Structures are given as C-alpha cells and as structure tokens.
Chains A and B, each alone.
Chain A
Amino acid sequence: MAKKTAVSFTLNGSTVDVLVEPRELLIHTLRDKLAHTGPHIGCETTHCGACTVDLDGQSVKSCTILTVQCEETQVLTIEGFAKGGQLHALQEGFMQEHGLQCGFCTPGMITRAYRLLQEIPDPTEEEIRYWMAGNLCRCTGYQNIIKAIQYAARKLRGEVVETSHPLMAEVSL
C-alpha cells in the first residue's frame, strides 16, 4: 500500500525526479529530499503560510499538498528568485523596507507576494492586506511588509526606486 511512486516536476527551472510514498507532503520532499529549505515548516495546519511555494502559477501551502499531486508541475520556491547574484525586486524590497525581524515567514511572504504582483501589478494597500492574508508574521506587524511589496511593485513596473540600504547600495554599484 505504501509503495513508492516516481514523481517528476520542474523545480526553479530544473527537472527533478523523486521517489516518494503517496502520503509524503511537498514541504518534506522539498526540504528533506531536494535540499530546498527556503520554504519553512511553521504551523503544519495550513494557516501560517511559511511553507508557501508557487505551483503552476498559484500560491499554495506546501504542507497541504501531496508530492504525488505535483507530477508534471512547475514549482517555484524562494531559491528561484535571485538571478545571477542579483536579488529579486521583492527580496530587495524586504531588505530596504525592513519587512522582517526573525525572517521565518519571509520566504513564504516573498513567494506569495510574487504571485500577487503577477495578478495585480499595482495593488492598493487594502488589496495587499487582503491578498496576503494567508501569510502570518509573528514579529513585525505588517506595515513594513506592505511597504516592501509596494517597493517591489514600483520596481517591477519599471519605476525608479531608491534604496538607502547599505548592502543594496553596494550591490547596485
């Protein structure tokens, strides 16, 4: 009954093959078999959003998806965001606006915010609050997270953004 099944999917652009029991959850496959530990295990009950990944163009909580459901899908995790040493606009935004304290929720926040900005490139603050409601942060309150997403939205729309973050200033030189 617990016979293992071969599952293939695309993870951050590369094809991966894994052998899993049907009951294995995607979060465990990502973290334990594929060494992608960006998606975090938080509540394990589909509430907190720390395990959020992008699955075929949808934000999902990978603690509530079986890996066998991911056959032939495209999975994007936080590890797929930075390209060629350049942070993604959202990563830059979270640094610039200090959208984090302990950082535990950040990979899920960024992955969810990425899909939100694909669907609504110019969201109002109210829209950000509504569409980010599946991600909980226990330390910052949400104001800086909202600012970080607004920063990324401006940058992704091609507007000029200024960063005062010392590390970002070095990166942009």
Chain B
Amino acid sequence: MIPRPFAYHAPDTLQAVIALLSEHGDQAKLLAGGHSLLPMMKLRFAAPDHLIDLRRVKELCGIVMSGDEIHIGAMTTEHDIVASALLAEHLPLLVETARQIADPQVRYKGTIGGDVSHGDPGNDHPAVMLALGASFVLVGPNGERIVPAADFFLGTYATAMEPDEVMTQIRIRKAAAGSGASYAKLKRKTGDYATAAAAVVLRLEGGVCAEVSIALTNVAPAAMRADAAEASLMGKTVDDAAIAEAGRHAMEACEPAADLRGDEEYKRAMAGQMVERALRAALLRCAA
C-alpha cells in the first residue's frame, strides 16, 4: 500500500510552514507524527498534492509551565507525554491518556497536536481536551488566535482550524488542588481506537461534587461533553447511585455509529460503563 504521488516539503520555521500553507491551502496536508495521516494516504482515503512535514520546526516541541498553565508544543509526541515528569505532577490525566493510545512504536511518532487537530472522533485527546477546558493556539497568515476546545471539534474530520492554519500549542490549566481525573477506555486490542471512552475531571468540596466535567470519545461524530451527566452530579455526594445516574445520562447523550466495534446499543452501554469507571477512579484520586 503506497500513497498517491505528492510533493514533499520539510520547512525549518513556522513562517515557512505558513507560507507553504498560504500557497497550497486545501491542496496541502500537514504531516506531524503521520500515524493517522499516512495510513489514510496508503488506503487512498486521503490524497493531498502537497505534504508539509513539521518535523524540522523546533519551536513546535516541548512542555513548559507558564504561570498556572502548562503549554504543550503541538509536535510533542505521546512518548514525550508518557515520560514527562512535569505532566505526571500537574496533569496526570494526560499521561494516563497517552499510555492508552495505540502502541509504543506509534507513541514515539504520534503527536498531541496531530491527534487533536485530525478531527477523528476515535482519537483520544479531544475528549480529554474538552474535559480539561484546554485551548489551542492556531497560527495562520493573519497571525495567531486562541480557540477553546469547546469551540474546536465540529464533526468527523471537521475542526475550527482553517486550511491555512497550523496548531502550534495546546494550553491547559494545571490540575486544581484536591481534584481527581481519569480516562477510561475500552478497546478490543492494543493499538485499536476506543469502542467507547470517557474523560472525567472531578473536584469535591465538603464531600460533594463542586466541579465535574465529563467528555466522551468515539460515540458521536466528534468528541462531546456529557452535559446532563455533569449536571446530575453537581452538589451531590458522588456515591454509587449518583455514579450510575451519571452513566445513564451519558448513555442517553451519545450518538454512536454501529461498526466492527459493536452496534449502537452496545457502544451506548459501554459509554455509560466508561463514565462510571472514570468517575470511580477520579473520585479515589480526589481523596488522595
């Protein structure tokens, strides 16, 4: 399986990337880790005329603390995320998520920016970004803009990113003191996308739920928040009954498509189960 012919570019600077995007626009695709794009190109689901490889653009890499935010370069790999001491301390949810993505070889190449901006509802970071309230720095010919995750995921392979823009950075507030988070993912085998997965961030005050966000992977055309499930928990003790109720609300909210991973009913049920699992794990971590 070999992709259709294309012209390959490997610019050194962000400026050069923008110039190439301005010239070739929707005829071009950005190549980050390539582990979503190249398989699509090999299967001829994607056939860009121009491929712009971001590997030489050093300013797109790295994880740094900036005030109470963590800034992650879009070209930071899943392997770097798994190994990051900074993230382990301040955003362990990202490490837990990256550990469940694909397999070791893929994690060396796959990038967080690629995962987020590809627009595949099966990708894991989008739901996590929604749950964490992340924002994305997009740079185009007219400069930089910052888009919150809540406004970014529009549908299957559709995001708020314009064809002449590149995602440079992901910004996330570090985890609040006393909060707990978890990403629960059901997959058929190593390397597979989620049958269903749920990202949860939870904070308690006086034993009751003061803040919660719940987002789902691969059970709708794009990653989605489970608003009703969140609302059902607010102000309540997070006990078995409340967790089960949140799971039911999440099941009602999702719109899974039947495929080889299961029919609608099964995927809906698994979305509920993943919400329950993630809530239980997040709750334990709140107490810790």
A residues in contact (CB < 8 Å) with B = 1-3, 5, 21-25, 28, 44-47, 49, 52, 58-61, 64-66, 68-69, 71, 112, 116, 131-134
Contacts and interface: CB of A to CB of B under 8 A. Distances in A.
Contacts of B45: none
B8 A65 contact: no
A89 B105 CA distance: 22
B104 A59 contact: yes
Interface in B175-195: 190-191
Given A1-B49, A44-B42, A134-B190, A66 B8 contact: yes
B260 interface: no
A1 B27 CA distance: 13
B189 to A, nearest CB: 9
B5 A21 contact: yes
Interface string B95-107: 0000000111110
A133 B104 contact: yes
A71 B222 CA distance: 36
A52 B5 contact: no
B47 to A, nearest CB: 10
Best-surrounded residue of B8, B51, B79, B105 (most CB of chain A within 10 A): B105
Interface residues of B, number: 30
B288 interface: no
B104 A131 contact: yes
A69 B32 CA distance: 11
A54 to B, nearest CB: 10
Contacts of A28: 2
Nearest to B77: A58
B6 interface: yes
Contacts of A1: 5-7, 49
B105 A61 contact: yes
Contacts of B163: none
A116 B189 CA distance: 21
A161 to B, nearest CB: 25
Contact of A23 (B5, B35, B79, B191): B5
Nearest to B37: A64
B34 A66 contact: yes
B3 interface: yes
Contacts of B4: 23
A49 B104 CA distance: 10
A46 B55 contact: no
Interface string B247-263: 00000000000000000
Contacts of A45: 1, 39, 42
A134 B53 CA distance: 24
